[in-house]
Amino acid sequence: MPFSFDLQHLAPGSAARRGTFHTPHGPVETPAFMPVGTQATIKGLTIDQVRSTGAQMILGNTYHLALRPGEEIVRDLGGLHRFMGWDGPILTDSGGFQLYSLAQNTKITEQAAVFRSHIDGSLLELSPERSIAIQEALGSDVAMVLDHVIALPAADEAIQDACQRTIRWASRCRAAAKSQNQAQFAIVQGGLNPELRVWCAAQLAALDFPGYAVGGLSVGEAPDEMYRVLDVVCPALPTNKPRYLMGVGTPQDLLEAIHRGIDLFDCVIPTRNGRNALAFTDSGPLRLRNAVHAKDDRPLEAGCPCLACRDSRAYLRHLFLADEMLGPILLTHHNLTYYQRLLAAARQAIAADAFTSFTAAKRAAWRSQVVA
Amino acid sequence: MPFSFDLQHLAPGSAARRGTFHTPHGPVETPAFMPVGTQATIKGLTIDQVRSTGAQMILGNTYHLALRPGEEIVRDLGGLHRFMGWDGPILTDSGGFQLYSLAQNTKITEQAAVFRSHIDGSLLELSPERSIAIQEALGSDVAMVLDHVIALPAADEAIQDACQRTIRWASRCRAAAKSQNQAQFAIVQGGLNPELRVWCAAQLAALDFPGYAVGGLSVGEAPDEMYRVLDVVCPALPTNKPRYLMGVGTPQDLLEAIHRGIDLFDCVIPTRNGRNALAFTDSGPLRLRNAVHAKDDRPLEAGCPCLACRDSRAYLRHLFLADEMLGPILLTHHNLTYYQRLLAAARQAIAADAFTSFTAAKRAAWRSQVVA
C-alpha cells in the first residue's frame, strides 16, 4: 500500500515525535493539524485559502456526506478530492462520533447504528461495512473504522461494552476493505478508564492497522483527565504508526498531546471560534466584539501572514458588529493559520531538541495577556 | 483637482462612449461597474478577491458608515481606503437613497433629512453639509451630493419639489466642500417626467460639476421606462463629464444604458443574487438550487476565470443546499467577475466600433437557454 510513516526524530525529555506520513496524495509532516471540512468545505474559506493557511491534510465527514449530497454523487463526480478541489490528503471519519453526538436519533445494535437523518428524517444504517463502503466511495486517503463513542461519565460496564464492540467493528471494517489506496486507522476507546484504554489499545495493536486514533475524548471531561488517558494510551500503541487524537483541541491541548506522543489532530475550535469573533494569538485569545478594539489600528498578531492580519482590529470588530460575512471569513483564516504556524513551530522545536522549552514559552505567553 | 475624464472613442450608431476617469487612486476605464461595499466590505469577499474580479472602483455608503462604525473612527484609522484595504478609487453615495429606502424612519425638511437609525433608534441628521463632511472624513475619491429620492409613481408636484430641492442641495454640497482630493458628482432627479429630467440636468450642468449621476431610477419602474429617461437625460448632460447611473442593474440594463451614453454603474444585483444561488452566464441565469444541477460536472461557464468555475455545478448546488458560506462566496465572486468581464468586453466592442453587434449577440445568447 502507498502508505508509510517515517519517524525522524524523538524529543528528549518528552514523547513528542517528528515524522512524515506518506499518502497517495502526498506527505504530511507530523505533528499535523487537519482543519475540519464536514460537508466538503472548510466553513467560510475557498480551497486556495485553506491551502494558504499551511494545511497539509483535511478531514471530511462520512455521516454528513452520505446524507448530503450522497456518496454516490461524490464518487460519480470523481471523488471527494475532485468534488471539493483539494489535491492533498483527506481523512474521513467513520460516523462513529455521531453515535455520541446524535445519540437521541440513533439506535445501536451489534450489526449497525441506525440514524434518523437530521435533515429529512430518513433512516441511514451505518454498519462497519457500510461506513467503509461510503469512505471508499468518497475516496479519502485515510478511512476511520466505525467505533462506538459513548457519553461520559458512564458506568464501567457500558464503557467496556462499547469498547469491545469497537474492537469487533474494527475487524469487520478491515475485512470490508476493497481499496488499495485507502489506509484504515483503528480507534482506541475506553472512556476515562486507564485499564480499559490500555487493553483496547493492545487488542487493536495486535491487528496491525496502518494508524491508530484515540477517540471518545473531548466530550466534556477536564483537560487533565484527557491528558491522563494519553499518558497510558500512547505507550500502548505501536511506535512506528501515526497516532491521531480525534476532535482535539485548544492550542494548549495540542502541545500537551504532542508531548505525550500524538502525531495528528482535527478540531472545529479554530474555525467555530473564528466565526464567533474569537482570535487565537501568542498572547492568548482576543474577543473581537469587545469595545476595547473599536479604535485599535493594530493587527491581531504582528508578523502573522494571514488575510486578517493585513487589517486593523478595529476593522475586524466593525465587520462582526455589522454582521458581515467577511468577519467570520477572516478570523477563520487567521485561526487556522495560527494553528498551522503553531504546529510548524512545534515540528521545528522537536527537530531542534527544544520542544520542552518551546512549550514552556508558549504556555507563559498565552497567560501573559488579560483576555480582551 | 486631480480628476479628469478622457473621452477616447464614440461608438457609431450608438451613444456608447469609451473613456478613462482619472482619480487620486488611479484611473477607471469606462464604461465601468462598481461593486457595492455598503458597510466597508463587498459582502462575502476578501479585498484581494474583489480585485481579482477585475473591479476598478468600488462604492461605500455614507449613511451606513456614519452610523457604524462612525466616520470619525474611519478617518482616525486612515480613511476608508486603508480601513477596508482597498487602494483603488472609491465612490461614496450621499445618503440620498436612504431618503427613499428608509422613508418610514425619515423626516425631510429644506435644512436636512433626519433619520431614526435602523440599528439603535438614535437620530442622524443628514444635511447637504453633513453628508459632504462625512464623505470627506471617509476620504472617498468621489462624493455624491445629497439628493432627494422619492418613491414612484408620485404626483408631478412632489417630483418637482424633490427635484428642485436636489438642485438647491447640490449647490450647498459644493459650497461645503473642503477637500481638494474629492470630486463631487451631482445627481439628476425628476422621476419619469422627461421635461423635469431635462430641466434638472440643464440646471445642474450649468453648475459645472466634475461628474453627473442619474438617480431615482430602478425603484420599481419597468426597464423601458428607465431607458426612456436615459434617452432624454444623457443628451442633456455635458459630453466631457462622466455619467453614472445609480443602482442599476441587470446585464441587459447595463448594455442598454451604455448604449444611451452611461459610463459608470453600481448595483447589488450580482452580489445579492449570488448569495441567493443565482449565477449569471452568457446563456442566461442559472439557479443553483435546482435539482437539474445535482450531478452536473460542468462549471457555471466554460472559460470563466472566477473561483467558482473551478468547481462543478453539482458542488456549488451542494454548498447551497448544505447552507455553507462557501456557496454565497463563490457565486458572489462569479457574478462580479461576470459583470466585470461584460464591461471589459463592452469597452473593447466600443473601441472596435462593434458595440451594436456586440449587444445584439449578448441579447440573443441570454435568451438562448431555458432558465435552469
Write down the pLDDT at residue A371. Answer: 54
* pLDDT per position as a tens digit, A181-223: 999 999 999 999 999 999 999 999 999 999 999 999 998 899 9
Confidence of residue A372 (pLDDT cuts 50, 70, 90): low
H/E stretch holding B307 reads: none
Is the pLDDT assigned to residue B299 strictly greater than 90? yes
* CA R_g for chain A: 20
So what's the pLDDT on residue A2? 85
d(CA B355, CA B344): 12
**Mutation target among A288, A318, A323, A332 for the B interface, most CBs of B within 10 A:** A318
Q: pLDDT category, A349, cuts 50, 70, 90?
A: very high
pLDDT for res B293: 98
Q: Is B345 on the interface with A (CB under 8 A)?
A: no
**Residue B206 CB burial class (10 angstroms; 0-12, 13-18, ≥19):** exposed
Task: Please report the pLDDT score of residue B118 as a whole number.
Answer: 86
- Which of B74, B117, B318 would best serve as a mutation to test chain A binding (most A beta carbons within 10 A)? B318
Interface membership of A305 toward B (CB under 8 Å): no
Q: Are B177 and B135 in contact (CB under 8 A)?
A: no
Q: Does residue B27 have a cis peptide bond before it, meaning omega lies within 30 degrees of 0? A: no
Question: How close does chain A come to B268, measured CA to CA in Å?
Answer: 15
Question: Angle at which helices B251-259 and B355-366 pack, to 10 degrees?
Answer: 160
Selecting from B77, B83, B324 the residue whose C-beta is nearest the C-beta of A41 gives: B324
Q: Which of A237, A236, A269, A273 has the alpha carbon at shortest distance from A252?
A: A269
Beta carbons of A214 and A247 less than 8 angstroms apart: no
**Judging by beta carbons within 10 Å of its beta carbon (0-12, 13-18, 19+), is residue B40 exposed, middle or buried?**
buried
With contact defined as beta carbons under 8 Å apart, do A28 and A56 qualify?
yes
- Name the DSSP class of B117: P
Closest Cα partner for B92 from B68, B56, B58? Answer: B58
Question: For A110-140, what is each residue's pLDDT tens digit?
Answer: 999 999 988 888 999 999 999 999 999 999 9
Judged by a CB distance cut-off of 8 A, whether residue A295 touches chain B is: yes
**Residues of B whose CB is below 8 A from A73:** 294-295, 314, 318
- The DSSP bridge partners found for residue B186 are B212
**Lowest mean pLDDT, pick from A324-333, B1-10, B253-262:** B1-10
Q: How many angstroms separate the CA atoms of A224 and A230, rounded?
A: 10
Q: Which secondary structure element, helix H or strand E, spans residue B295, and what is its range?
A: none
Cα maximum dimension of chain A: 61
Could you confirm whether B253 is annotated as catalytic?
Answer: no
Residue B31 to residue B36: CA distance in whole angstroms: 16
- CA–CA distance from A192 to each of A227, A235, A240, B367 (Å)? 10, 16, 25, 65
Residue B164 has pLDDT above 60, yes or no: yes
The pLDDT > 70 percentage for chain B reads 99
CA neighbor of A318 nearest in space, from B337, B127, B77, B35: B77
Distances (CA, A) of B166 to A93, A330, B149: 63, 40, 8
Chains A, B: CB pairs < 8 Å? 109
> Burial, A224: exposed, middle or buried (Cβ in 10 Å; 0-12, 13-18, 19+)?
exposed
Query: Looking at A56-65, A269-278, B73-82, B149-158, which range is the least confident one?
Result: B149-158
A57's CB contacts (< 8 A; 6+ apart) are A23, A28, A32, A34, A88, A89, A90, A91, A141, A264
Mean pLDDT for all residues in chain B: 96
A120 touches chain B (CB under 8 A): no
Q: What is the pLDDT of residue B3?
A: 95
| Bridge partners, A144 (sequence order) | A185
Are β-strands A106-108 and A113-116 bridged in parallel, bridged antiparallel, or unpaired?
antiparallel
pLDDT of residue A367: 87
Each residue of B88-143: pLDDT tens digit?
A: 999 999 999 998 899 888 999 999 999 998 888 899 999 999 999 999 999 999 99
Q: Is A266 a catalytic residue?
A: yes
Q: What is the 3-state secondary structure (H, E, C) of chain A?
A: CCCEEEEEEECCCCCCEEEEEEECCEEEEECEEECECCCCCCCCCCHHHHHHCCCCCEEEEHHHHHHCCCHHHHHHCCCHHHHHCCCCCEEEECCHHHHHHCHHHEEECCCCEEEECCCCCCEEEECHHHHHHHHHHHCCCEEECCCCCCCCCCCHHHHHHHHHHHHHHHHHHHHHCCCCCCEEEEEECCCCCHHHHHHHHHHHHCCCCCEEEECCCCCCCCHHHHHHHHHHHHHHCCCCCCEEECCECCHHHHHHHHHCCCCEEECCHHHHHHHCCEECCCCCCEECCCHHHCCCCCCCCCCCCCCHHHCCHHHHHHHHHCCCCHHHHHHHHHHHHHHHHHHHHHHHHHHCCCHHHHHHHHHHHHCCCCCC
Q: Which residues of B touch A311 (CB under 8 A)?
A: 84-85
pLDDT at position B1 = 65
pLDDT for A370 beyond 90: no
Residue with C-alpha cell 464567533? A276
Residue of A332, A297, A106 whose CA lies nearest to B324: A332
Q: Which of B46, B78, B324 sits opposite A326 (nearest CB)?
A: B46
In this structure, are strands A113-116 and A123-126 parallel, antiparallel, or unpaired? antiparallel
What's residue B11's pLDDT?
87
pLDDT computed for residue B131 by the predictor: 97
ipTM of the complex: 0.97
pLDDT at A99 over 90: no
Closest CA to B291 of A76, A79, A73, A84: A73
What 3-state DSSP class applies to B171?
helix
pLDDT at B372: 57
Smallest Cβ–Cβ distance between B40 and the set A40, A41, A318 belongs to: A318
Across-strand partners of B244? B213, B264
Give the pLDDT band (50/70/90) at residue B370. low
The pLDDT value recorded for residue A207 is 96
Average pLDDT, chain A: 96
Residue B303 is inside which H or E element, if any? none
Quick: pLDDT tens for A307-324.
999 999 999 999 999 999
Alpha helices, DSSP H only, in chain B?
47-52, 62-67, 71-76, 80-84, 96-101, 128-138, 156-176, 194-205, 223-236, 251-259, 269-275, 313-321, 326-351, 355-366
Write out the H or E segment, with its range, that includes residue B7: strand B4-10
DSSP B304: -
Under the banding of pLDDT at 50, 70 and 90, the label for residue B265 is very high
Is the CB of residue A273 less than 8 Å from the CB of residue A335? yes
What are the CA-CA distances from residue A372 to residues A41, A285, A293, A294 (Å)?
A: 30, 7, 8, 12
Once rounded to an integer, what is the mean pLDDT over residues B224-250?
98
Nearest to B280 by CA among B247, B254, B318, B261: B254
Q: What is the pLDDT of residues A149-169, one digit of tens each?
A: 999 899 999 999 999 999 999
Give the model confidence (pLDDT) of A234-264 as tens digits.
999 999 999 999 999 999 999 999 999 999 9
